[in-house]
Each structure stands twice: as structure tokens, then as C-alpha cells.
Amino acid sequence: MDFKKTIEAHEQAVAALKADCLPVLEKMAEVCGKAIKSGHKILLCGNGGSAADSQHIAAEFVGRFVKERQGLPSIALTTDTSILTAVGNDYGYDEVFRRQVEALGQAGDVLIGISTSGNSGNIVKAFEQAKKQGVKTLALTGQKDSKMSALADVTLKVPAPVTARVQECHIMIGHMICEYIDEEY
């Protein structure tokens, strides 16, 4: 295992993110900040490692990131096993996030979908539902065009070809949005 090579690949992904994606990242942070300041919430969803990222970022909002502040309204749609298994069983796995957006999403809220492929069926359906309800949609994806990027109000496509490097950038992006809100709140 060449750890140095892995670190260099990570650095290249971050450098590409810095070079190509800062205006999109700033737009995403502004959308989230505006929602929070106007009394709305942030919903997050993803599958696998992206589910863990969703939970991690929601925890940073509700708890705190760095700065002491009041808890901010954020929900990871990946955490309630009773909802996930009931909806998955009764309606199919592609409905697990859409149904929660239908129940919890309100106009002015923000839905952040995290998917390296950008084609996760359950997130695509959640984005479609969000649009019907006036919920803003932010997509964190890999570098390719995708169903999520076609639907989202704002998409940040991490310019890296390897899933692990994309995921590393996704959590960094989530942290930067949290830091922006800490400073603006």
C-alpha cells in the first residue's frame, strides 16, 4: 500500500475542488444560511457512507460545529430505522426519502442529497418530491452528470474519479457549510 500516493490523490481532489467549485460551494452555503436564518430546516439524505455523512452534518447543525450557538434545525432522513424499514417494506426502497420529504418538508426548507454517482433512485425521488413542495435541493455528487444534477437547484460535482476521494471531499464540503453558518448565524 502506497499511503503517500493516496494522500497525493486526496490533495489533487481538494485542489480540483478549490480550482473549480468555490462559487458553487458558496452558493450552497448561502442557500443553507438563508433557510436557517428564515426559520427553516435542513434535511439530508444519502446511502452507505453518504448516509453517515448526512447524519454527521445534521449532528453538526443540531449540536454545534465549532462555535457555541443554539441548536439549528436539521434532520438526517437516514436515521429512523422504523420509518426506513416500514416505507421500504410497504412502498419500496426508492420511496424511503421521498416519503419523509413529503411528511417533513416545507417550502423554504433545504434538502441536501449526497451521492457519488448522483443517480441514487431514492434521492432522485426525494428531489422530485421536494420540488413539488418548494423545498430547495442541493446535490453533492461525483464528477459526472447525473439525474440528481439535472433536478437540483444547485449541484456540486466533485472533480475526482475515485469514489473514496469524492466522499472525502463531500464531508469537507459539509464541514465548510457548517463553518459558514457558524460565522453567519
Q: In CATH, what number is assigned to the domain containing residue 27?
A: 3.40.50.10490
User: Which segments are annotated as binding site?
Assistant: 47-49, 56, 60, 89-90, 115-117, 120, 167, 175
- Other Cβ atoms less than 10 A from the Cβ of 58: the count is 25
**H-type alpha helices, the chain:** 3-20, 22-37, 49-62, 81-91, 96-104, 121-133, 147-151, 163-184
Q: Which range, of 68-72, 86-90, 127-131, averages the lowest pLDDT? A: 68-72
Confidence check: pLDDT of 116 > 80: yes
Confidence check: pLDDT of 185 > 80: no
User: Which segments are annotated as binding site for Zn(2+)?
Assistant: 56, 60, 167, 175
State how far the Cα of 41 lies from the Cα of 73, in Å rounded to an integer.
5
State how far the Cα of 107 lies from the Cα of 69, in Å rounded to an integer.
25
Q: Which domain holds residue 156?
A: 3-184
State how far the Cα of 97 lies from the Cα of 118, in Å rounded to an integer.
15
Predicted local distance difference test score (pLDDT) of residue 74: 98
Mean pLDDT on 139-149: 97
Predicted local distance difference test score (pLDDT) of residue 126: 98
State how far the Cα of 142 lies from the Cα of 140, in Å rounded to an integer.
7
Mean pLDDT on 37-65: 97
What is the count of structural domains for the chain? 1
User: Which segments are annotated as binding site for substrate?
Assistant: 47-49, 60, 89-90, 115-117, 120, 167
Predicted local distance difference test score (pLDDT) of residue 184: 83
Mean pLDDT on 64-82: 95
